[in-house]
Each structure stands twice: as C-alpha cells, then as structure tokens.
Structure 1
C-alpha cells in the first residue's frame, strides 16, 4: 500500500477532519457529562484553593505525591489560573477523543503504509464506555499511549533505535504519571510491535522475543516508580475478583454504552461484523503486527482482575482498546479494487458520523439535566456543609443519569462540602477527614436507593435520612431520589425544588430516631463484595 496516489480517506486533511469531528459532542456542554468527572472537579478545586482557603483542611487532606494517576490534576495547575478551572477541564477532556482518533489513524498508517478504509470503523471507540464513565486520567493516558506507540513504530521503521531509546525513557515516565494503565498498555503494544520487527529482520521467534524485550528497556523505568508508590505505608486498596467471566463478556458488549441500548449494541455488532470479514472475506486480511498486539491485549484483558489496588473496573477499561487495535489491524489485500475500498471507507465514515451525531444529541440532553439540577447551587451559600443524596436503582440502567457525582460541582463552584469524594490513601491526592460526617463523609454515601441492594454499600433513602448526623450538615440536596416518607425530613425546610429533586435547609439538628433504632440500623452486616457491578437493566 506504499505506492500510488493517496485516496481521500488516507490524506492528512482527512485525519485532521476526523480529529476535529471527534471533538463535536463535547463542544456544547459546559461540563462534559461523564459520570465521575464532577467528583474529580471537586478535587481539582480543593487542590487549587486549599493553600488560600485553609479552612478546607477541616474537611479534606490534600498532599502532593508522585502517583500513577495525575494526568489532569497536573495539567490544570498552569491552565486553571489562565482560563478558569471549568474551561481548563473542558479543554483537556475535549482533547481525549481527538488524540484517540489521531493515535488510531497514525498507528494504522505506520503499520499498513496507508490508512486502510476499515480503520474508520474503530473511530467511534474514542467515546468508549470507560471514557463515558469519567475515567479521565486513564482515558488521557490511553490516548497518549496510542500516539506514542505510533511514534515508536515510526522510529523503528526508520531504524532510529538510539533516538527512540533516548526519548522514550522520559516519555514513559510522563505517561506513567498520567496514569499507570496507559504506560502498561504502551509496553504491551511496543513489545508486540518490536517482536514483529525483529521477526521481519530474520530472527527466529526465541531470538526475536529476547531482542524485543531488550528493545523495550527504555520503557522500564516507571517500574521503579511503581514499586516506590505501592510500597508506602499510606497506600491502601486491594486487588480482587479474578476471572469474572460474566462481566468480562458484558464489558465487551458495553464498549459503546451511552444512552440508547439497542443503538449501542447494534453499533458494537457492526464492529464485530467488520472483524469477521477479516477472517472470512478473501479481499481483507489482518496485519501480523496489530493482530499480535490485539491478541496480547486480549490476554491482558482476560488475566486482569476487576479490582486493582482498590480501583474497580480495571479490566473493563481495556476492552474498547482491544477491539480498536483489532479493527485498525485489518487491511485490504491487493485484489480489492478502489471501488470496494472506497465503499468500505464511505460506510466507515457514515458509521463514525452517525455515532458522533448521536453522541452530540445525547450530551445535549445530559447538559439540560445538568443545568436544571445545578440551579440548586444558586441557593447554597459558599462553605456550606452540604450532604448530597443521588437516587438510583439497584438494577444498572443502560442510560446513566451522569449525576452520581454532582456533589463535586457544589465543592467546585461553592466550596461547599461534598460527600462524594473518593477517600483511598495512595490512590488519590485527596482524602477525607471530616469526622463529624461519620458514615456520610465520602463516596459512596451520596448514592441512595429505594431498597437495600445486594452486594452494594448504597443505603436506602429511608436509612440515609434516619442515620444522617444533622449536626454535621447545614443542607441536604436530594437529586432525583427514590420515594421516601416526608416525615423523615421533619425539621428541614425546602428552599429549592425541581421535579423530585429538592434542596433542604436543616433547621432542627436533633436526631429523628431513638438511640435504640440507631443502634439497630448501624449493626454490622456481612461485608458485600467490593464494588460489585449491578445487573444490567434490559
């Protein structure tokens, strides 16, 4: 594919256009409607203000340290003073799908010599479910990992190994600081790519395997950083839930999960049909390089547990990238005519365009929900001690409200207390130390349900209202809560309401239940499996 005229989908202008198109769904919303992002934004505000607002130390402890999860946390340090925190976060998050698209197309260009038409079917994975979930440091590191892998391949293709060694030592460390996952994936991709390069140079498999390992040494320095990070006394978090086959299959089905289940599943089906053509269609084949990369990543996906160092959904995050690498690994054989390739390219472009249009509309709808919900913040004074309860069902609805961490925006905009912050020493820079909040100090105390959910820490709304330490808070913000007995809000005054959502001011701080009932409700129960995903509502 190296000779001849470039087709329209192989030009640099087309790559630039696809990268810009990838940004469209995030242009309208003030805040990208990603599940966890508002919670992260609350942490960013504490990071920026705790030196100027020392009273925040009454609620939170924030300590800078070198950990493998600092991507946006570091980038907002120079950007937020220039353009503001929310625009800075929006700008950084907007670059993630853009860089994902450029990385995928650049890899395809380096491996195949030209961008194959089938590569366009991988581009919707720039808005994969892990990104929609709000794993923003992870997604940013993966976007950079794809582009760095393309650079690795390019330098190897030109036999610039010494230069590659020199620049990838610092680049690998920077990538690790952004998020460890991106560094790990880059290592897997670089090893598989170098293995094929050594095979093409005439080495046997054993010798090629050895030389590929030696060639990847420039990527190894973060292993020392990893050991130092995870060996500290302050580090918490377990690694658990290996080989959960039911959920590994579910994560593959949900790689494009957004709002409309039938549409998202149909889109995934299209991707698998394209992959099947690489096996059954005599006109299309797989690149050895990217086929091996996809197999290596698939093996990692199978071996990864669901929870790593206390961080849930570890294996889920990799699923879209296994599929993406497999898709860009397809290429036409010499027998495929221009008309056939152009048809594939047109279909791939239409597929990407439809997903972008749907994502843009979906984000617009989520943005409307954000605007309605965040109107409550106009009635909350700065520095308020706010407890937030966000309703959800035990069954995992395909369409998430994206409001699970809306409390983080009260912290970000009003410097109000937010009980949605993650508090895992060594996993985040911020930990919660507001002892008066008791069981309502941090995530997942913000999630409430209509009944107790099996295998979850979420409280039923009635239990949450009964156990709430009223003397620790000034306001109660209930966001689309389940039905509850109004008597449980006795002593509270509603000061804002929108549908079922309501903001209460706490006027009577006395407990509403007896000490005997409190003891009964707080009696220890058997610990549920950590962060067990809910059953999907179909």
Structure 2
C-alpha cells in the first residue's frame, strides 16, 4: 500500500526502484575507466592533487594546483577519501557509478512524491541517466544534478509531511554542499523548489479563498530563502581577479534544437535519435489520450527549466555547452509529469509500465555494449604506457576530423592517463583560472602546453583551435618533450618525424609511441608548408601595415 491507501503495482514497489537503480549501473561495471570524454582529463588533475610534492617534484614544475572555494568540486573532494581506500582509478569509477544510480532513484522518488505513486510511464525517463552531458564527462555537473533530483524529492516529501521548519533548517547546509559539488545543480534545485512551492502556496491560498498567483509567487520566494546562502559564495567566487572566461553565444536556436535531439547521444545515431523520437511520440500520446494527464507541479517545473534553457548562452564564464547540459533534464521532468487519470484501466497501466521498462532496459543494454567497445579501445591505446618511463615529458596528439561525428571517440583526453599512471606530462589539461583547480605552467611547451593542443586533424578546421597533424609534428618544441604519443592520428609527412624513433606501435598501426632522438637534427620546415595560403597572406599584410605605422627614425 502507498501513502494514498491504494494497492501498489509491481513498478511502484521499493523492490522495483532498487532493481532499476542497480540496472542503471550495469554499463559501468566492466570498463576500468568509465569511457566518458572528459573524465580521463579530470583523473589527471586528481593525480596531481593527490601526489605529494616530494614523491614527484617535477609535477610542480609543470602544473600549478591550488585549492580554492569554487562551485565545481564534487568529485575533486570525494576522490580524496575514495582514493585512499580504493586507489585513484577504482575510487573514481565507484563515484561515477553512483551518478546514474542517483539519477534514476531521484526521478522515481520525485514521481512518487508528486503523483502519490510511480506512474507507469515514469520509466521512460530513466535512460536519461546516460544523457549526453554525462557521456561528455561533465562528472561534477552530472553528480550535482543527480543529487539535485534526490534533494528536490526530499523537499517535496518534507512539504507533504508538513515538516517545513525542519526543511528550512536542513536545506541551508545542504544547498551549500550542493553548490560546492557544482553550481548548476544548486541552481536547478532552486528552480524546481520555487516552482513546486509556488504551486503549493497557490493551492493553500485557493483553499482559503484567496488564491492569487502574485501572492503565491512572493510566498514561494520566501519559502526558498533557505536555498539562497550559496549566492554569497557565488559572488565571492566570480568576483576574484583570477577568474577568466567569457560568456557568449546567446540564443543559438539551431544549437538548442540540436541539443534536444541529442539528449540520448552515445554511439549509434539511428538508435539514439529513434529513442529520442519515442519521447516525442509519448508526449503526443499523453496529450491526446483521455486517461492520461500531467501534474501541474512538474509541468510548471518543466516550463521554468525550459525558460532557463532558452535564456542560457552556450558559453558561461568560459565553460562551453552550458545550455546543452540542461536539455536532458527539461525532457526528464516533462516525462515524469505524465500521470494516469482515474479512468485508466489496470491492464492499460500494466502495458504502459511494461513498455516503459522495456525501453529502459533496451537503452541500458545499448549503453553496456557501447561502453564495452570503448573499453576495448582504451585497452588498445593504453598499452603504449608500458613503454613509458615515470616522469616522462610527453606531448600527445589524438586524431579527429572537422566533422562533428555522432560517435565521439572518447580518446580526446586519454593523454591524461599517462599523467595518472606514469606521472608523465599530459598536454590535455584545461588551463582555465577560476574554473579548475589546476593550470598548466610548463612554459617550454609553448602552444602545446594544454588543451586543445592534443587534438589534431588532417587539415585546418574552420572555427576551431585544433591544429593539423603536419603542423603539430613539425612545430612541437623538441627541447620540451622526450616522447610523442600518437593516438589514431591522420597520416602525416614522415619528414616531420625524422628525429623521432618508434618504441611502440598499436596492432592496427594507427597509434604509436615515439621518442625524440636528440642526436638527429630537428627538421627545418618552412611556414609555407604548414600554414594555409590565406593565413600567410593575412600575416604578410598585417606586417606591412605595422611597418607603415612605425614612426620615422629620430634625426641625428
């Protein structure tokens, strides 16, 4: 029986919630390193964070790591105790495994609190635990969003039980901890809590005969004051002189529509887009079916999140894909808003629940196969580290192309595993003061010191900072590096590697580990071979303009 006194169906029991939560972690069980695009890069930062200076003093010459109070510390803090108990790699894996589990549990808990019991359609939302932002490796963000869902369910539960004073007391420290995990999760919790409190206050006023929305709006704002303390932390964080990064690309509607189509993006475009189409069909069906409706509470929450999504730029304080991160959660909240009306038969409810659960299991099966294949790629490429000495200065080039292919290779930040396992230099670390605790300071590396210098392409790509493989091989500073790690790079002119000796090669021949041979002369390559013609002409024109602007020499 649930708290409404109705008998529970199989999908509404605690046993089902536990099973669904456990199913959600299945794709992450086999891979040693969860194959999320940015995660290996974060693991490199964790290694620097956890390694004492006396154990690897050379790390202090390459990187600057400094603890500071920023709204992006979720796994950075958790990894400290987890690494002591389980080691760094297993500790990170265990933390990451909690993210889809918390997301699934949070969605089902919210659905139960709002509807009184879990609707048969709620399981359609569960595959979004493996949404595109999670696949991208935004792990602090994803953890904060999973926690925000669970905390929103707790917020609703305490309101339902009338424990408003207790809610106010416990959410002051909880909101600060959530902000510390990632500021995005705290912001979303605020939006969800405000919308729910607004509905609750309106219903109270309406029952009393004075249900005015303006008054409800004001009272909802007052009710959310316990969540407001992190605003002071936000001001402190973003007002520092060390903070950099622009906020740009507002109202890019083409990109926003694309993000909505990519909410389940993983490996197979047809499968992922078809799965997203299931959501459109479900929403259309829910609107048309007379025995299905929507929760006012969650519909208002979804509308508020959609408004935030529309207003968010693509880049916030230098962090890209800010709006993309919110898209799956707009969809998820909309899906769990669907509810059966009293006229729905038990048979129809059972069929819907079976379809929703089958969809969830099918998506998890696809994610499991996808992650197994990515793990095989990781094992193949990481074999190069067996030939790499500890503390080596390594410049890594990872091949890609100018097309935004649906299946991301997940290799973009694999260079950081050299830092994780061999305490070697990795040129894929982000260098964004104020956004990360670590910045690269290896001046000898020049333009190859940090991300995105590890990304190489067959040629110059428009509107990208990536460099062609020929340029990178010819121009990386030999005095700064001892090894070159090539990961599935495009073909390049062998003359640019005339001073490099191969010490390892992958079975497919697409990857290799090369050692700089200082007994051979560095290849001398003219700019005309490496730069596009338009760039050379532009540079020449600007040089002529500078000469014309120079003042005449002083008279003797």
TM-score bracket, normalised by the shorter chain, equals over 0.9
**Residues 480 and 331 (structure 1), Cα distance of their counterparts in 2 relative to 1, 3 Å cut:** same
The answer on 1:461 being equivalent to 2:469 is yes
CA distance in 2, matches of 1:33, 1:129: 13
Deviations 1:321-377 (A, max 9, x none): 000000000000000001000000000010000001111011000000000000000
Quote the residue 1:81 is aligned against.
84
After the TM superposition, which residues 248-287 of structure 1 pair with which residues of structure 2 at under 5 Å, given as runs?
A: 248-287=256-295
The answer on 1:14 being equivalent to 2:25 is no
- 1:54 is displaced (CA, Å) by 2.7
Aligned with 1:382 (options 385, 390, 415) = 390
Aligned with 2:484 (options 471, 476, 485) = 476
**Residues 444 and 185 (structure 1), Cα distance of their counterparts in 2 relative to 1, 3 Å cut:** same
Aligned with 2:28 (options 26, 29, 37) = 26
Quote the residue 1:37 is aligned against.
39
The answer on 1:189 being equivalent to 2:189 is no
After the TM superposition, which residues 170-181 of structure 1 pair with which residues of structure 2 at under 5 Å, given as runs?
A: 170-181=173-184
Gaps of 5+ in 1: 527-538
After the TM superposition, which residues 47-58 of structure 1 pair with which residues of structure 2 at under 5 Å, given as runs?
A: 47-52=49-54, 53-58=56-61
Contact 1:471 1:510 in 2 (8 A): no
Give the aligned length: 526
- 1:467 is displaced (CA, Å) by 1.1
After the TM superposition, which residues 124-139 of structure 1 pair with which residues of structure 2 at under 5 Å, given as runs?
A: 124-139=127-142
Deviates more, 1:345-354 or 1:51-60: 51-60
- 1:170 is displaced (CA, Å) by 0.3
- 3-state secondary structure, aligned to 2:24: helix
Contact 1:236 1:310 in 2 (8 A): yes
Deviations 1:196-246 (A, max 9, x none): 000111231010000000000000000000000000001101100000111
CA distance in 2, matches of 1:88, 1:525: 51
**Residues 410 and 5 (structure 1), Cα distance of their counterparts in 2 relative to 1, 3 Å cut:** same
CA distance in 1, matches of 2:511, 2:165: 60
Quote the residue 2:67 is aligned against.
64
CA distance in 1, matches of 2:107, 2:345: 24
After the TM superposition, which residues 478-517 of structure 1 pair with which residues of structure 2 at under 5 Å, given as runs?
A: 478-498=486-506, 499=508, 500-508=510-518, 510-514=521-525
Quote the residue 2:550 is aligned against.
none
- 1:435 is displaced (CA, Å) by 0.1
- 3-state secondary structure, aligned to 1:396: coil
- 1:108 is displaced (CA, Å) by 0.2
The answer on 1:108 being equivalent to 2:108 is no
CA distance in 1, matches of 2:74, 2:537: 38
- 1:279 is displaced (CA, Å) by 1.2
- 1:520 is displaced (CA, Å) by 6.8
- 1:76 is displaced (CA, Å) by 0.7
CA distance in 2, matches of 1:236, 1:510: 40
CA distance in 1, matches of 2:513, 2:350: 56
- 3-state secondary structure, aligned to 1:397: coil
The answer on 1:218 being equivalent to 2:226 is yes
Quote the residue 2:360 is aligned against.
352
Quote the residue 1:199 is aligned against.
202
CA distance in 2, matches of 1:28, 1:514: 46
After the TM superposition, which residues 279-428 of structure 1 pair with which residues of structure 2 at under 5 Å, given as runs?
A: 279-428=287-436
- 3-state secondary structure, aligned to 1:410: helix
**Residues 269 and 448 (structure 1), Cα distance of their counterparts in 2 relative to 1, 3 Å cut:** same
Contact 2:40 2:414 in 1 (8 A): yes
CA distance in 1, matches of 2:271, 2:288: 25
Normalising by structure 2, report the TM-score: 0.93
Structure having the higher Rg: 2
Quote the residue 2:452 is aligned against.
444
**Residues 520 and 456 (structure 1), Cα distance of their counterparts in 2 relative to 1, 3 Å cut:** closer
Gaps of 5+ in 2: 206-210, 540-556
- 3-state secondary structure, aligned to 1:315: helix
CA distance in 1, matches of 2:390, 2:265: 36
